[in-house]
Structure 1
């Protein structure tokens, strides 16, 4: 937008500061103002020269902030609680606000629409961008794990926290009534009974563990996405034939004029196309966004499409060792409006703002988790795979620790320190942390119920 002014840039800085982001890159401000790159950067240079903003860092690390942040962050004594709370919510771009206005119209005033395959067909990986390219690249730089490490390393390092965060956040968006503390207790207990909400949460946990194990080996594929759906919806669909299966039934979505395609052949074809194109996208953040938006828009399964899209968005992030996306603190109404913008208008403005906001929160959360872990134990790194093998023999096959050590040739002479490490890990093994050793929850629970034989 050529009409972007210095005041527009200053107002964008104020809005970001009110949302808790006190420093912003030029990319953030280009996105927030919808202005051109050259115009926004020219205004920033002038604002810095005049002393209106403070500039820190150099090159890609350059950040800008208001000279006086009190103006943006102070909450007056008369400010309503809802206004104060809004500072913790996404900062909507002008395009997103315009889309919100269109969605505020009554359903009767909006034209019914159905699936448009050109939304995918016209997309050319690495040439087309659903997110602004500079934003996707900035998020990739912020979220990636430094150094060359095997795919899935980042997710494995923060797995215990991720299991709780993503399971609870995604389930809450489906109306799940469990609190975060109740979710943690459920994962420690490991059994759901006849509670559908508990089943939903445990299915999420199992699905995340499945992705962390399978993605580094299998990569992104249609069978993997379909298996992801099957795990997420186990015991939640009346007909087990529908688990991971392309939908054969009519699906209607409430509170929208969008009617998904009801042709199974098209559903299968477009699912293949979505996965194939996502696999070619080099930027993992753009690939994650592409999967999240398009799987929800297509609605290829009888139920569970949105939760499948949320977890599937993590597949490219896993492959490229980026911080996982757990949809932290996302408001259900914001999420619904972001989806409706795609469903009814194929407009991603709301979705881009919501995605970038919550992904930044995920990046910050898991960066702190990583820092809290400190330097990895060299002994654990040395025996990483051996620990997994030994735990499998003891828990799944019920062999004694000594028998496992002898079978794997990991006696004290051959692997000094391993026995003590193994016995210590056996004491700590629970159903909520068993995935790191490729153990299922049921096998682990059975071993625990048997008195932890070793």
Structure 2
């Protein structure tokens, strides 16, 4: 089967650590403020970690722009909804769930549905697919991911494919990472948060991915964040 969007990638030849859905959700809840902070920081939020904690406790921060506050609240609401879906066994890789989460992720930024126009990505010459192709591409993605036996690999590939396709006018990486974590949690695997301190490295690797469609460097990067040390071995990645 051809890879959707002509993405090139190797395969993980090790199994991720399975801790169970309930424990994975509990561990995410324990780190909830950190996850929200990391997501917002990748989007350029000026909020410090203590300020994020304070806002999540329901106390507004004086002197901050409303849109910056809304970004934090959107990430809170979307992450909480993801946890509800997973805990109730209602999380699935469907367009409806994808759009439902996006509506919360990008509330007051985008429309909560697949775009009907063109978009571009700053810093790269890559042109995302035309809007009339998006439904077909999403179906291709779902079918392809069903052939991937490793849930960690499947989750990470959803994030990369969603970011490359740019299904929405805004909030694509945020929503695709949320879906990635839904796949992980649903499989009993710890969610992945890209630390704020890794923002520069992450952005550079994303731009390289857009330009080349080679996902190997990003897969290795995401694995390292998740605590897996990997090395290349032919067309696979293995524990180091």
TM interval, short-chain normalised: 0.7 to 0.9
- Aligned residue pair count: 223
- Report matched runs for 1:232-243 at 5 Å: 232-237=105-110, 242-243=111-112
Post-superposition CA distance 1:55-106 (Å, at most 9, x none): xxxxxxxxxxxxxxxxxxxxxxxxxxxxxxxxxxxxxxxxxxxxxxxxxxxx
Deviation at 1:329, TM superposition (A): 4.5
Shift in Å, 1:271? 1.8
Alpha-carbon distance between aligned partners in 2 of 1:272 and 1:256, rounded to the nearest angstrom: 26
Distance 2:59 2:144 in 1: 37
Task: Indicate the residue corresponding to 1:198 in structure 2.
Answer: 69
Q: Does 1:165 align with 2:34?
A: yes
Residue 328 of structure 1: aligned partner = 195
Q: How does 1:229-308 map to 2 (within 5 A)?
A: 229-237=102-110, 242-243=111-112, 245-261=113-129, 263-308=130-175
> Is contact 2:9-2:216 (8 Å) kept?
no
Q: Cα deviation per residue 1:95-133 (whole Å; 9 max; x = unaligned)?
A: xxxxxxxxxxxxxxxxxxxxxxx541778xxxxx93442
Deviation digits for residues 167-226 of structure 1 (CA, Å, limit 9, x no counterpart)? 111111111111111110110016689621221111111111111111322422221111
Residue of structure 1 in register with 2:95 after alignment: 222
Runs of at least 5 residues in structure 1 that lack an aligned partner in the other structure: 1-117, 124-128, 362-454
Structure 1 equivalent of residue 234 of structure 2: none
Alpha-carbon distance in structure 2 between the residues aligned to 1:133 and 1:224 = 26
Q: Does 1:120 align with 2:10?
A: no
Residue 189 of structure 1 aligns to a residue whose secondary structure is coil
Tell me if structure 1 keeps the 8 A contact 2:116–2:131: yes
Alignment of 1:305-324 (within 5 A): 305-324=172-191
Q: RMSD across aligned C-alpha pairs, in angstroms?
A: 2.3
Q: Which residue of 1 aligns with 2:233?
A: none
The CA distance in 2 between the partners of 1:277 and 1:190, in whole Å, is 44
CA 1:158–1:359 in 2, change beyond 3 Å: closer, same or farther?
same
Q: Looking at CA atoms only, which structure, 1 or 2, has the larger radius of gyration? A: 1
1:359 aligns with 2:226: yes
Q: TM-score, normalised by structure 1?
A: 0.46
Judge conservation of contact 1:167–1:205 (CA < 8 Å) in 2: yes
**Cα distance in 2 between the residues matched to 1:308 and 1:329:** 17
Q: CA-to-partner distance for each residue in 1:387-420, whole Å, 9 max, x for gaps?
A: xxxxxxxxxxxxxxxxxxxxxxxxxxxxxxxxxx
Flag structure 2 segments of 5+ consecutive residues without an equivalent: 229-240
CA distance in 2, matches of 1:250, 1:312: 23
SS at match of 2:169: coil
Query: Does the 8 A contact of 1:131 with 1:289 survive in 2?
Result: no
SS of corresponding position for 2:90: helix
How far does the alpha carbon of each residue in 1:259-296 deviate from its partner, in whole angstroms, 9 at most, with x for none?
A: 112x2220121123213432453211101111111000
| Structure 1 pair 197–301 and aligned structure 2 pair: CA distance change class (3 A) | same
Q: Tell me, in whole angstroms, the C-alpha distance in 2 between the residues paired with 1:121 and 1:250.
A: 16
User: Residue 162 of structure 1 contacts residue 326 of structure 1 at CA under 8 Å; is this kept in 2?
Assistant: no
The answer (yes or no) to whether the contact 1:167–1:204 under 8 Å persists in 2 is: yes
Distance 1:131 1:182, change over 3 A: farther
Kept in 2: contact 1:256–1:340 (CA 8 A): yes
1-structure distance, mates of 2:12, 2:29:
32
